């Protein structure tokens, strides 16, 4: 029974050695290792931030507003309401990653099946092409503006707007990989064998398309992190007093004359997260590239 449920593409010896090869290549690339460590640390901090943050993010202290970084008790200083900046950055990074994962999950859940359908069924292709054209006509910020007008500004709506805007990219890469896989012999063999379209898609095409989906996701996550920061900065994303790196920068802009340092740290964190994802994404793409054998 268990033998029957093992997915074919994953069980074949060729794919096991391929996975090992990809992992080995990643381990040998110092940039990949460093970016992975940064991301792992960020993930741990984000997960545990409600418990390990030194202060409550809402705890105000009007006697100690705008303390500079290095103040005893507040390593990164305090903001305009005397709240601890380190705690807010930790929780803000958590919110950034939350929005990014929610957005990318949204785009994958909708985009992957549509991309498979567009690549596999000719009849769907034309309709889905018009659908992607339509989505592309609304840039993510304009989509967020429209959503905020209809449903109000919130973390979820920001994630949905970013996720919807990323659907066309997912459809495009999954569609072209499906077209490629569909023309290969093992798919033709499965069809001749009497496999249904759904079976072929789920068991043969999707498992082999995971690498392009993975690469697409590593590109989409940093874009979503930047998108969330922009939306929160403009007031269209996470709403104060909830901590967010974007809103921290918006506040810093208001008080830039008094506390210029406050405009530096949240930006560095946003950039660090996005950079780590982009560097890791590049390394992953190189590692997955079959032409990269040496």
What HEC string does the chain produce? CHHHHCCHHHHCHHHHHHHHHHHHHHHHCHHHHHHHHHHHHHHHHHHHHHHHCCCCCCCCCCCCCCCCCCECCECCCECCCCCEHHHHHHHHHHHHHHHHHHHHHHHHHHHHHHHHHHHHCHHHHHHHHHHHHHHHCCCHHHHHHHHHHHHCCCHHHHHHHHHHHHHHHHHHHHHHHHHHHHCCHHHHHHHHCCCCHHHHHHHHHHHHHHHHHHHHHHHHHHHHHHHHHHHHHHCCCCCCCCCCHHHHHHHHHHCCCCCHHHHCHHHHHHHHHHHHHHHHHHHHHHHHCHHHCC
Is residue 218 within 8 Å of residue 277, measured between CB atoms?
Answer: yes
Candidates 252, 283, 287, 288: give the one binding other proteins (CB under 8 A).
Answer: 252
Q: Per CB under 8 A, which region of 75-83, 111-119, 132-140, 182-190 contacts other proteins? A: 132-140
Of residues 136, 188, 189, 198, which one binds other proteins by CB under 8 A? 136
* Residue among 76 and 229 whose Cβ is closer to other proteins: 229
Minimum separation from the CB atom of position 122 to other proteins (A)? 14
Interface residue with other proteins, options 138, 202, 239, 255 (CB under 8 A): 138
| Residue 200 vs 236, nearer CB to other proteins | 236
* Contact positions with other proteins (CB under 8 A) in 162-201: 165, 176
Asked if 149 touches other proteins (CB under 8 A), the answer is yes
Interface with other proteins (CB under 8 A), residue from 15, 38, 278, 285 = 278
Nearer to other proteins, 205 or 223 (CB): 223
Residue 146 engages other proteins in binding (rule: CB under 8 A): yes
Residue 41 interacts with other proteins (CB under 8 A)? Answer: no
Exactly one of 270, 283, 284, 288 binds other proteins (CB under 8 A); that residue is: 270
Q: Considering only the stretches 17-25, 69-77, 195-203, 276-284, report the one whose residues sit in contact with other proteins under the rule CB under 8 A.
A: 276-284
Cis peptide bond upstream of 241, omega within 30: yes
Residue among 101 and 271 whose Cβ is closer to other proteins: 271
Which residue lies nearer to other proteins by CB, 38 or 242? 38
Task: Answer yes or no whether residue 256 interacts with other proteins by CB under 8 A.
Answer: yes
Q: Find all residues with CB under 8 Å of 279, minimum gap 6, and list them.
A: 31, 32, 34, 35
**Which spans of this chain sit near other proteins (rule: CB under 8 A)?**
129-130, 133-134, 136-142, 145-146, 148-151, 165, 176, 222, 226, 229-230, 233-236, 249, 252-253, 256-257, 260, 263-264, 266-267, 270-271, 274-275, 277-279, 282
């Amino acid at each position: 029974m268990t033998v029957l449920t093992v997915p074919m593409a994953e069980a074949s010896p060729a794919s096991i050695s391929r996975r090992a090869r990809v992992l080995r290549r990643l381990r040998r690339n110092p940039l990949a290792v460093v970016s992975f460590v940064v991301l792992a640390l960020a993930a741990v901090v984000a997960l545990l931030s409600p418990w390990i943050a030194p202060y409550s993010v809402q705890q105000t202290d009007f006697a100690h507003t705008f303390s500079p970084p290095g103040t005893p008790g507040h390593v990164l200083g305090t903001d305009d309401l005397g709240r601890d900046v380190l705690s807010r950055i930790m929780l803000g990074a958590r919110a950034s990653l939350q929005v990014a994962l929610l957005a990318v999950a949204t785009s994958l859940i909708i985009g992957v099946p549509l991309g498979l359908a567009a690549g596999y069924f000719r009849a769907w292709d034309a309709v889905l092409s018009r659908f992607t054209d339509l989505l592309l006509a609304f840039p993510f910020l304009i989509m967020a503006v429209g959503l905020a007008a209809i449903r109000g500004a919130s973390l979820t709506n920001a994630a949905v707007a970013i996720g919807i805007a990323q659907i066309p990219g997912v459809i495009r890469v999954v569609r072209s990989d499906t077209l490629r896989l569909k023309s290969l012999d093992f798919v033709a063999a499965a069809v001749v064998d009497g496999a249904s379209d759904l079976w072929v898609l789920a068991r043969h095409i999707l498992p082999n398309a995971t690498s392009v989906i993975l690469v697409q996701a590593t590109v989409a996550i940093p874009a979503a992190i930047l998108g969330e920061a922009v939306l929160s900065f403009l007031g269209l994303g996470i709403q104060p007093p909830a901590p967010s790196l974007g809103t921290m920068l918006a506040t810093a802009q208001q008080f830039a004359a008094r506390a210029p340092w406050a405009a530096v740290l949240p930006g560095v964190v946003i950039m660090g997260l996005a950079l780590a994802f982009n560097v890791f994404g590049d390394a992953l793409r190189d590692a997955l590239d079959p032409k990269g054998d040496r």
